[in-house]
Amino acid sequence: MGVAIVGVGITKFGEHWKSGLKELIMEAGIKAVEDAGISGKDIELIVGGSMSSGMFVGQEHTGALFTDYMGLSPIPAIRTEAACASSSVALSTGVMAVKSGRYKCVVVGGVEKMTDVYGNLATTALAGAMDRDNEAHFGLTFPGVYALMAQRHMHQYGTTREQIAMVAVKNHENAMHNPNAQFHRKITLEDVIKSPLVADPLRLLDCSPIADGAAAVILVPAEDAKKYTDTPIYIRASSQASDTLGLYTRPDVTTVGATINAAQNAYKYSGLGPKDMHLAEVHDCFTINEIIGTEDLGFCKKGEGGRLVQSGETKIGGKIPINTSGGLKAKGHPVGATGASQAVELVEQLRGEAGGRQVKGAENGLAHNVGGSGSTVVVHIMSRNRK
């Protein structure tokens, strides 16, 4: 059985000092419900991702929170968590729920509230995505994890500081056309390279920002999709893979094995390959990770990711536009909402509703969402075409 998306909703990403989890969820959820033209009573299940709502704002049990504040009790709700891939896991779980035949209309959402919280929790909470005992305990942070990957990539493949910075420049440019993006500010190569050092070689403008935000999509069986909308977007593959929790046990830190695994399964399952994709959202929590992602997803050969971004082919108008939304870097990265927001971007693009950032004639798109240093990777392939 196929599964289609018939509605999407998203908040602006950024600092929402007047909104907590509830307000963010309600805004994204209600927008998605309205977009699908359904009413609350049509919804049979909620699957919601959030990473560390407990540490950030002291609120667990966010599934029941979703249901309650969307006025949908007594329907069941599942909260999923897989670090920064939490809401892509929600999406793949929602797809499974529809495929099980039990649920005909499922809301999948993601939310995170990271700003305006007690103290400086971001680094502490985010470290929960790595191997706490064997990495965070010794002082490793996520900028540090990705800096290690960047250093090795530069050493092994000759990737340059400038190529890495080009990811940020491109994504900030794309975000200019995304009204929901956190940053609407063009930056230059020099801005990136002269921004404050965070973890060598990564600088401030290589890092995605913490943010508040939520996103939601409505899933139905593919055969029902046209009842809801003239422009359903079909989920052609939903694929997840794991790797070791710690970076330190992997044979090669310039590649994310779980991306290769999840992508190969997604391509096999959908019958589509990287050359069939008209755009991709690639997990650029740090600039280097977009470069590694484009390689592991098969958009170029291993080691060629730096040259790919330099070629301009990942810009809108290029062969394979990457992160048309602005990516995590410029759209913002409210961790539990990121996977769902990638799905929203693909749907808007494939419907032809992406405004100034529209990829012309986009028919197939891919979303790549990474948890931790690649311990969880989820790849979704979506299409305007059912088969």
Closest approach, Cβ 217 to its own copies, in A, equals: 18
Nearer to its own copies, 96 or 189 (CB): 96
State the catalytic residue, choosing from 84, 207, 285, 300. Answer: 84
Minimum CB–partner distance for residue 216 and its own copies (Å)? 17
Q: How far is CA 85 from CA 102, 116, 253, 383, in A?
A: 25, 22, 19, 21
The verdict on whether 300 is a catalytic residue reads no
Query: What is the rounded CA–CA span in Å between residue 19 and residue 6?
Result: 27
CB nearer its own copies, residue 54 or residue 303 = 54
Minimum distance, C-beta of residue 69 to its own copies, in the bound complex (Å): 8
Q: Which one of 283, 333, 368, 380 is the catalytic residue? A: 333
* Contact footprint for its own copies (CB under 8 A): 20, 22, 51-55, 57-65, 67-69, 72-83, 89, 92-93, 96-97, 99-102, 124-125, 127-133, 136, 240-246, 257-258, 261, 371-372, 375-376
Strands 364-371 and 279-282: parallel
Residue 76 or 274 having the CB closest to its own copies? 76
CA dist., res. 145 & res. 136, Å (int): 10
Q: Which is nearer to its own copies, 30 or 78 (CB)?
A: 78
Query: Is 84 among the catalytic positions?
Result: yes
Tell me which residue of 18, 314, 372 sits closest to 171, measured CA to CA.
314
Q: Residue 373 Cβ, how far from its own copies at the closest point, in Å? A: 10
* First-last CA distance in the chain: 12
CA distance 187 to 209: 15
Question: CA nearest 36: which of 107, 109, 110, 90?
Answer: 107
**Contact between 149 and 127 (Cβ < 8 Å):** no
Active site residues: 84, 333
